Amino acid sequence: MENQYYPFYNTPLPYEYNALEPYIDEKTMHLHHDRHLQTYIDNLNQTMKQNPWLQRMSLVEVLYHLEKIPKEQSIEVRKNAGGVYNHRFFFETMSPDGNTQPMGRIKQGIDNTFGSYEKFERVFKDAALKVFGSGYAWLVTDGNGFYIITTQNQNTPLEFGWTPVIGIDVWEHAYYLKHYNERNKYIDDWFQVVDWKKAEEKCCGR
């Protein structure tokens, strides 16, 4: 992943802001990418500027090794590095060419674990609906099996040793403008733009 070290900057979306219409609306994409993600980037840069020794670590390294960071800084780093990582992952694994089906190792893993893609989608949706407050639902792997987990706030799967495959941001800012309080409909719409090809590249090294 490019732009892994301080100073971080906001990489452009890999598609137009309106490209995910009608599932994810243009205004939400602008606010989500240009304001919410930008704020995490600015705050992470600020924390690293004040603690230059952190600048030697990449975005992923700080998240993998939060225990090495003194508590004074680790709260800010966890929140802001997590916010950058999670949002980039979320944006990068959506695509106007989404609505593909899982393939390769992911398809095999989903079939083995859940029985079928349809059953997986139901379990995943239920997990995403049950995230209380702000957070994410993820399909993750440990290199062998595939699992569904949820994380609170901007905690990432990395800090728990998981490699993310796909992940949905269920903070209200991700859907409230279009879907109001209907997270249920937002999750259905998000499934229409999940880019399984990109997920395969990111999680499983192709």
Rounded to a whole number of angstroms, the minimum distance from the CB of residue 173 to Fe ion is 5
Between the alpha carbon of residue 155 and those of residues 27, 36, 144, 150, 205, the distances in Å are 25, 16, 22, 9, 23
Closest-approach residue to Fe ion (CB):
169
Q: Which helix (H) or strand (E) holds 60?
A: helix 59-64
Rounded to a whole number of angstroms, the minimum distance from the CB of residue 62 to Fe ion is 19
Rounded to a whole number of angstroms, the minimum distance from the CB of residue 23 to Fe ion is 16
Instruction: Kindly calculate the radius of gyration of the chain based on its CA atoms and give it in whole angstroms.
Output: 17
| Angle (deg, nearest 10), helices 71-92 and 196-204 | 140
Nearer to Fe ion by Cβ, of 63 and 174: the residue is 174
- Contacts with Fe ion by CB under 5 A lie at 169, 171, 174
Nearer to Fe ion by Cβ, of 162 and 171: the residue is 171
Q: Which helix (H) or strand (E) holds 140?
A: strand 135-141
Long-range CB pairs of 67-72 (<8 Å, 24+ gap) are: none
Residue type present at position 180:
Y
Rounded to a whole number of angstroms, the minimum distance from the CB of residue 39 to Fe ion is 10
Nearer to Fe ion by Cβ, of 43 and 51: the residue is 43
Nearer to Fe ion by Cβ, of 57 and 77: the residue is 77
Asked if the peptide bond before residue 7 counts as cis, ω within 30 degrees of 0, the response is: yes
Nearer to Fe ion by Cβ, of 32 and 110: the residue is 32
List beta partners, residue 167: 138
| Angle (deg, nearest 10), helices 104-114 and 117-130 | 80
Q: What are phi and psi of 202, to 5 degrees?
A: -75, -40
Rounded to a whole number of angstroms, the minimum distance from the CB of residue 66 to Fe ion is 20
Rounded to a whole number of angstroms, the minimum distance from the CB of residue 122 to Fe ion is 24
Nearer to Fe ion by Cβ, of 85 and 171: the residue is 171
